[in-house]
Homo-oligomer: A and B are copies of this chain.
Amino acid sequence: MRNIRTTSNDVELVRQRREIIAKRALQLFLEKGYERTTMREIGNACGMTHGNLYNYVGSKEDIRHLILMRDIEGATKLEDFRRKLGNVSYTTVLGECMADFLRGMDRMTGPLLFFDREIYKFPREERRVALAAELAIVSFFEDLIREGIEAEEFKVCNPILLAHDILMYGHDWAVRRWFLKQHVTLEEYTKEHVRLVLELVTTKTN
């Protein structure tokens, strides 16, 4: 998306280094916040001097961008997952997709926290990208529910609100895992909320 300056032509090396930089910087950003983390610290955390960072990255903002890109790339593609499920009932599809989504979110705690805190400081274009990724998830579930309704398998009346709640359950697990884990495992959390949602879409509502 954004073009990040390099002084190296070794594509593979650049890829590796950026991977490390994004990973270690994310940790530091989560611990201390973006502005409180210095380039020197990031360098140290990557086993290099701060000067050397600038061979792989043009600026501190570029690192933020790197984290965003790495995250978006790593996000589960729900469409692909659904396709693999093949021909099953909408109830099954919805349950399985929710489970997959929650598993994905479980892996994303770091980036999610980071974006929740920092995204509003990003340049407009990047905010747009991050936002689009979230909306895509809502849309995915919304569409799924609508299809289920059209197929007369579901009966719910407010698909978008429900879809949004699903997003929120995932988001919440990622961000409040530290608290929730004291009481439930991911599996339990998933089971409970899948049941809750399925109940809502299959129960007659008036």
Q: Are B192 and A161 touching (Cβ within 8 A)?
A: yes
Closest B residue to A134 using CB positions = B179
A2 within 8 Å of B (CB atoms): no
What mask results when residues 159 to 180 of chain A are scored 1 for a CB within 8 Å of chain B, else 0? 0110011001100100010011
Q: Flag whether A33 is at the interface (Cβ < 8 A).
A: yes
> Chain A's interface: helix, strand, loop or mixed, by majority?
helix
Contacts of A32 in B (CB 8 A): 121
Measured between beta carbons, the chain B residues less than 8 angstroms from A118 are 117
Bound-state CA distance A125–B102 (Å) is 32
- The segment out of A79-87, A89-97, A196-204 that lies at the interface is A196-204
Contacting residue for A117 out of B116, B160, B164, B195, CB 8 A: B116
Residue in B36, B160, B172 whose beta carbon sits within 8 Å of that of A183 in the complex = B160
A7: chain B residues at CB < 8 Å are: 40
A11 to B120, CA, bound (A): 37
Is B203 in contact with A189, judged by CB distance below 8 angstroms?
Answer: no
The A132-180 residues at the B interface (CB cut-off 8 A) are 158, 160-161, 164-165, 168-169, 172, 176, 179-180
Residue positions of A touching B, CB distance < 8 A:
7, 30, 32-33, 35-36, 40, 116-118, 120-121, 158, 160-161, 164-165, 168-169, 172, 176, 179-180, 183-184, 189, 192, 195-196, 199-200, 203, 205
Extra contacts besides A161-B180, A164-B180, A196-B200 (6): CB < 8 Å = A33-B120, A33-B121, A35-B35, A158-B192, A161-B189, A168-B168
